[in-house]
Amino acid sequence: MIFGDFKYQKSVKKLTATNLNELKNALDFISQNRGNGYFVGYLLYEARLAFLDEKFQSQTPFLYFEQFLERKKYSLEPLKEHAFYPKIHSSLDQKTYFKQFKAVKECLKNGDTYQVNLTMDLFLDTKAKLKRIFKEVAHNQNTPFKAFIENEFRSILSFSPELFFELEFLDTALKIITKPMKGTIARSNSPLTDEKNRLFLQNDDKNRSENVMIVDLLRNDLSRLALKNSVKVNQLFEIISLPSVHQMISEIEAKLPLKTSLFEIFKALFPCGSVTGCPKIKTMQIIESLEKRPRGVYCGAIGMVEEKKALFSVPIRTLEKRACEDFLHLGVGSGVTYKSKAPKEYEESFLKSFFVVPKVEFEIVETMKIIKKDQKLEINNKNAHKERLMNSARYFNFKYDENLLDFELEKEGVLRVLLNKKGKLIKEYKTLEPLKSLEIRLSEAPIDKHNDFLYHKTTYAPFYQNARALIKKGVIFDEIFYNQDLELTEGARSNLVLEIHNRLLTPYFSSGALNGTGVVGLLKKGLVGHAPLTLQDLQRAAKIYCINALYGLVEVKIK
C-alpha cells in the first residue's frame, strides 16, 4: 500500500465498517493504537450517510484501513515508455448535465443553497495493469497525497493534491490544518498565456466567491470542535500550479481539545465542504437527488494515522476500479454558484480528467495500397481502413471528419495518412518497393500485452523501433513478437498466420496484436481462424505467413 512518499509493509490488522457503530469502533481503535505502527486507508463519500443516519447499513464497507508495522521511502522508477492511454467516456451526456445544472440553478435561486459541487462519473477503458497506470500517472502527478490501495472491494489510484486535514498530536492540544481547493483554470504551453491564466484565476470574482464560501463553511465546521478563539485563516486565495491546471487554495488552522477523537473530527468535518457545497447537509441532499449514483472514494477521504500525526486527503483526481468491474471510475466536477454558466462548468469538469492522459505527442497512422481499377485510382479495402482509423480517433478523442478518406488520389503505390489530435490529416505518397527479404526472426524479449498503444496504429511505437530499422534495411521481412505469457502476437509491420494441421490460424488480437485490415478480411471470410499460438507453434507450423495491407499474404521463413 502506498500513501504519500511511503510504501507501507507488514500488515497485521484490517478494519472495515458498514454502519455507524463499526465506523466509530474502527476510528476509536485507530486513535487508541496510533502508537503501534501506521494506519492507512479510506472512507468512501457514502460514509456520510452513516453520520447522518445511525440506522444506515451498507452492503459493502465504506471504511477500510490496514495497520502496518513498517514503512519505507517510496520512489518512482524511471519510465522508459508509455503503456497507458485510456478511452474516456462520460456517464452522462451534455444534455443531461445541463438539465441537472438547471435544477441546481433553481435551488440557488430559491435560496436552498449557495454553492453545489455537481459531479459526474467518467469511465476509463484500458488494457494497462493498475500498477503500471499508477507508475505512469504519478510521473506527471507526483502529488504529496498520491495513494495506491488494493483490496477485495476496490482498487484506488489517487493523485490528489488537496489536503483534507493534517492533525498534530501535541502535548496540550491537537493542531489541525485544512486546505480546501476551489477554483480551477487550465495550464498553457505558452508561458505568457499560462501566467495570464494564473493571474485571471487569482483575481476572478467568481472563483474567489466560491473559495471564500468553502472557507467559511470549514471555519464553521471546525468551530464546533475548536478551543475558543483558535480558528484562524492563514492563507486566502493562494494559487498552486499543477501540471495540467492552476488551483486556488486557502488554509484554515485551529486548536482542538486534547481528548478530541478521530471519530469526532470526521463527524464534524466529513465530507470536506469543497466537494459538497454550502450549507453542507441541504446541499448534499440536492446532490443525491440529482447525481443518483455512489461517488465511491471520490470526494471521501484517504489517509494515514501514526503516533504524532494524522494526514488525510480529499480524493479528487482519483481512479477507482470496483470489484467485478473491468473499467475505471474517474469522478470529476465543479462548484456551481448563481454566476456559473453551464457550458463553462461542463468544460471545467472534463478539464480535470486530462491529468491521466500521458504527455506524448503522436498521430494515428493508416498505411494503404492504392490500386487502379477500371482506369480509376482507389484505396484497396478502403472501408476497413476508414473504420479502423475512425475507431482509433474515437478511442484517443482525436477530432476527425467522417469523410476523412474521401479525397482525390494522386498515384498508384503506397499512401500513408497521419491524423493528429486536432483532426488534421497529412498524406504521404510512396512507391511500393519490391520485397528485399522473405525471412523473419523471433524477438529476443516479450512485449507487454497490457499496452494500450499495441491495439492502435500510431507513430508512437517504441516497442517496434529496432525491428522496423532492420526491416527498412532489408535484413528481414518482419520480426515476430510474443507476450509475457509466451503467446505469439504479431510482427512489427504485419499479422502472423500459421498453417497447422491444414488450418490457417492467427493469434487472438487480445494477445497484443493489431487488427490488421488484411487478416480481418480473411477472418470474416472464414479462411483464417483465431487460436492461442505459442513459440512451439511457430516451430511446428507447416507454413508461416505474414499479412499486411501492402503485400497481402506472404509466405516467410524463420531466419
Active site members: 162, 182
What order of strands is seen across the sheet that includes strand 543-548?
A: 488-491, 478-482, 439-442, 552-558, 543-548, 495-500, 503-506, 529-530
Distance, in Å, from the CA atom of 199 to the CA atom of 405, rounded to the nearest integer, reads: 44
Using DSSP, state whether 503 is helix, strand or coil: strand
Report strand pairing: 439-442 vs 552-558: parallel
Distance, in Å, from the CA atom of 351 to the CA atom of 246, rounded to the nearest integer, reads: 11
DSSP secondary-structure letter at 78? P
Distance, in Å, from the CA atom of 541 to the CA atom of 497, rounded to the nearest integer, reads: 10
The 10 Å CB-count burial string (b at 16+, else e) for 176-199 is bebbbbbbbbbbeeeeeebeebbe
Which residue has cell 471546525?
222
Distance, in Å, from the CA atom of 129 to the CA atom of 131, rounded to the nearest integer, reads: 6
If we measure between CA atoms, which residue out of 43, 41, 39, 242 comes closest to residue 137? Answer: 242
Type of residue at 14: K
What order of strands is seen across the sheet that includes strand 364-373?
A: 376-379, 364-373, 413-419, 425-430
If we measure between CA atoms, which residue out of 15, 33, 14 comes closest to residue 23? Answer: 15
* Contact in structure between 293 and 91 (CB atoms under 8 Å): yes
What phi, psi does 506 have (nearest 5°)? -130, 150
Say what the alpha-carbon torsion angle 32, 38, 42, 43 is, to the nearest 10 degrees: 10
Distance, in Å, from the CA atom of 305 to the CA atom of 290, rounded to the nearest integer, reads: 34
E strand or H helix at 337, and its extent? none
Burial class (CB in 10 A: 0-12, 13-18, 19+), 17: buried
